Structure 1
Amino acid sequence: KVGDEPAPRACAARGAVRPLGVRQAAKATKPKGQKRSPGKRSPKRSPWRRPDGRRPDAIPRPLRTRRTVAIPRVDVAKTVLLNLRTVVVNLDRRPDRMEGCATRLRARCPGLTFARLSATDGRATPISASEVAMSWHTSRNVRYQKIRSMRKGWDDLDTYHERTLPLSPGERGCASSHIHAWRHCLESAGAAERPLLVLEDDAAPTAEFAQVLARALASLPSDANLLYLGYSQAADWRRQVSAELVEAEYVWTTVGYIIWPSCARALLDRLPVNEPVDNWMAGLCAQGTIKAYCVRPKIVLQADAWNVNSDVAHSDEHYWGPCSDIRHSDVLYWGPDHPEARGVGGCLLGADDDSDSEASACEFA
């Protein structure tokens, strides 16, 4: 029996529900086997059309259902830059270096927000010995200089000697500047474990900076305290984590690194810095106090060759004497035209840097 209102049926074309028409209702109530009454044959019903006149089968299939609409792809590399807190350490008296660094960052790292962090002028600002020592012993650094020499195939092991040297005002200012950066890392992170990218003002990011960094961070182990983006390798890598990431034992320079609050806290708890700051950080890594990794290839180079346009005097630069012929880079050892030395020297934008300078690259005299 059919009720007062006909039963609804689904309209496949519209995806809606509508009541049966008179003809359909009559057909539904007709006893099974009853012949159709003679009469004029009704014309074939045309398919239902949308209000805009288009038939359903004329609508492109991907747009028929919401499930088939593509979700926009997220640019992971761009997201990494947008979320990365960054400071550039720069002396008040060197606005030219800050301007040059800012230009390089805008060209190679669009979307990266960075702030200037005032560096300590070692010649003008008193620095407490409780934060940075007045002298250092070269024993550990000499050991890794020899390791690097053997790794590079140099024949100069007899030229490295252990000494006690005074830290230059520039080296003390450099260490103090990085101490300020570590404190800034803790203060700005609050209760979160948000990392901080620390760049020196001669930092020159490579064209692949964002893409390589995103891949390296994706494979970074959870025990990482420090991630070097630019460095000079001393010892062999402890292990390879991925194509873009290796675990470090001892590396030089502090031109660019990402530091986590846990590492900043560990470094501040172990003051004073009693070596050039890059040697001191490398030593803590070598002894297992902190876990450091390196992005490979380097994605932060130095805008100039080592010791060019620098305001700092390195205490171990000439400790063998003014006439020393110590070789501490591939260029000096092999000569500039040797295949081993190709690509070494100035790190202009786009250049490939494989140099192994032995001392800190800090520029904060």
Structure 2
Amino acid sequence: MRSDIDILVVNLERSTERRTLMAEQLDRLGVVYQFFPAFDGRKGEHAREFRYDPAIAARHGLRPLTPGELGCAASHVAIWRRCSETGRPVIVLEDDVITEDRFAEDVPLIRDLVERYPLLRIAAIRERPGRVVESLPRGRQVVRLSNGPRGTMGYALSPQGARALLHEIDTLAEPIDHYIDMFWLHGLRIMALKPYPVWERPSDGLPSTIESIRWDHRASFPNKIAREAHRLLGEVMRVSYNASDYFTSIGRS
């Protein structure tokens, strides 16, 4: 039976093995989903979704984004546009994840939660501290995270949340998961469903579809200063937003 939330699995056309693994997993669980054709950054397809300005990244001492990161970003932005335009909430999964065996039971729960929490993380790369804001059946909790957990492996988004993310995405200079974590920019608090029902699949020899670039430790001194200043500014913004949110919540109680 089709639910009133879309489940989209981001997958590059050439990544047939990943597509097969995800289809086998979700079909076995009885989850209704669709594959969302990912953008190929090698072909410059990201330009349809946002403006990428490496000059802005350079001014902040940040490395340039790889074609894979640009394609990943464009894929997620396109999903946000679809969510905003259709008015239907969405669960976004990347094609290298594993879901818990009862994930089909989680779908209606996530659908209900996303009405209250426009952006809900259901997977994370890094564990982050937070405070419990809601206790749920089966030992689940909704947790307000104080810092971004990184990654775009799995999250749920309402049309309202999609519009908030799109409002600040005109020009991109950092990986898309960094942008999602910048709640002080788009105003979407980082809410997480814990324990996470989705996690990263072990590599199993499958190559990553997003290239990575290591920092050049021989970077110039001005570049290192710019990078550190950018990091510190983000930290100040994060802490200030969290503090303001905390005292506002006390005032309401």
Does TM, scored on the shorter chain, surpass 0.5? Answer: yes
Tell me: CA distance 1:221–1:134, structure 2 relative to 1, closer, same or farther (3 Å): closer
CA separation in 1, counterparts of 2:211 and 2:105?
35
The equivalent of 2:244 in structure 1 is none
SS in 2 for 1:290: coil
Tell me: CA distance 1:307–1:96, structure 2 relative to 1, closer, same or farther (3 Å): closer
Whether 1:231 aligns to 2:124 is yes
- Equivalent pairs, count: 211
After TM superposition, give the deviation of residue 175 of structure 1 in Å.
0.4
Cα deviation 1:237-269 (Å, max 9, x = unaligned): 144422422112311111111110111111111
Q: Identify the structure with bigger relative contact order (alpha carbons < 8 Å, sequence gap 6+).
A: 2
User: Which residue identity lines up with residue 32 of structure 2 in the other structure?
Assistant: T
SS in 2 for 1:166: coil
Tell me: CA distance 1:264–1:95, structure 2 relative to 1, closer, same or farther (3 Å): same
On the 8 A contact 2:81/2:162 being kept in 1, the answer is yes
The equivalent of 2:141 in structure 1 is 244
Matches within 5 A, 1:267-278: 267-271=165-169, 272-278=171-177
Name stretches of at least 5 consecutive residues in structure 1 with no aligned partner.
1-78, 140-161, 322-365
The equivalent of 1:292 in structure 2 is 190
Higher Rg: 1
The equivalent of 2:230 in structure 1 is none
After TM superposition, give the deviation of residue 274 of structure 1 in Å.
2.3
Matches within 5 A, 1:299-314: 299-305=197-203, 309-314=207-212
Cα deviation 1:243-302 (Å, max 9, x = unaligned): 42211231111111111011111111111232100111001x255611231111111112
CA separation in 1, counterparts of 2:114 and 2:157?
14
Matches within 5 A, 1:274-353: 274-283=173-182, 285-286=183-184, 289-305=187-203, 309-315=207-213, 317-320=214-217
User: Which residue identity lines up with residue 21 of structure 2 in the other structure?
Assistant: G
Tell me: CA distance 1:132–1:241, structure 2 relative to 1, closer, same or farther (3 Å): farther
CA separation in 2, counterparts of 1:86 and 1:221?
13
Tell me: CA distance 1:215–1:223, structure 2 relative to 1, closer, same or farther (3 Å): closer
The equivalent of 2:99 in structure 1 is 205
Q: Considering fraction of residues, name the structure with more helix.
A: 2
After TM superposition, give the deviation of residue 129 of structure 1 in Å.
8.9
* CA RMSD, 1 decimal: 3.0
SS in 1 for 2:43: coil
Name stretches of at least 5 consecutive residues in structure 2 with no aligned partner.
219-253
CA separation in 1, counterparts of 2:204 and 2:17?
18
Deviates more, 1:96-105 or 1:202-211: 202-211
User: Which residue identity lines up with residue 4 of structure 2 in the other structure?
Assistant: N
After TM superposition, give the deviation of residue 309 of structure 1 in Å.
1.9
The equivalent of 2:71 in structure 1 is 173
SS in 1 for 2:10: strand
1:101 corresponds to which of 12, 18, 22: 22
CA separation in 1, counterparts of 2:209 and 2:109?
35
CA separation in 2, counterparts of 1:258 and 1:222?
10
User: Which residue identity lines up with residue 144 of structure 2 in the other structure?
Assistant: E
User: Which residue identity lines up with residue 97 of structure 1 in the other structure?
Assistant: R
Cα deviation 1:309-356 (Å, max 9, x = unaligned): 2022123x34447xxxxxxxxxxxxxxxxxxxxxxxxxxxxxxxxxxx
TM-score by length of 2: 0.72
On the 8 A contact 2:165/2:186 being kept in 1, the answer is no
